[in-house]
Amino acid sequence: MVTSSFVRGPKLGVRAKLLVDTGASYTILSQQVIESVGISVVQVQDYRWIVTGSRAERLPRVRLDRFHARFASAVS
């Protein structure tokens, strides 16, 4: 399921499309999206290990000013 989202950082907000994983424990955004709102991932000092289907990855953890994703409910 793909959805649209709004991400706001210290400098500005952007809209981004996301692929939703309903079983995920974390929300992962691309470095391009994070840097476009004014957050430098090079300066991040807080990291988390994320286990994917194929390996474990050490990713920077950032705090956003705002994050909103809109989900449409499926009706059968």
pLDDT, one tens digit for every residue, the chain (76 residues) = 888 899 999 999 999 998 888 888 888 899 999 999 999 989 899 999 999 889 999 999 999 999 998 776 555 4
- Residues contacting residue 20 through CB under 8 Å, at least 6 positions apart: 1, 2, 3, 69, 71
The pLDDT score that the predictor gives to residue 72 is: 63
The pLDDT score that the predictor gives to residue 61 is: 94
The pLDDT score that the predictor gives to residue 21 is: 85
Q: Is the pTM of this model over 0.85?
A: no
Using CA atoms, how far residue 58 sits from 2, 30, 35, 46, 69, in Å, is 25, 14, 18, 10, 24
Phi, psi of 36 (to 5 degrees): -70, -20
| Tokens at 65, concatenated | 């000013």
| Tokens at 69, concatenated | 């994703």
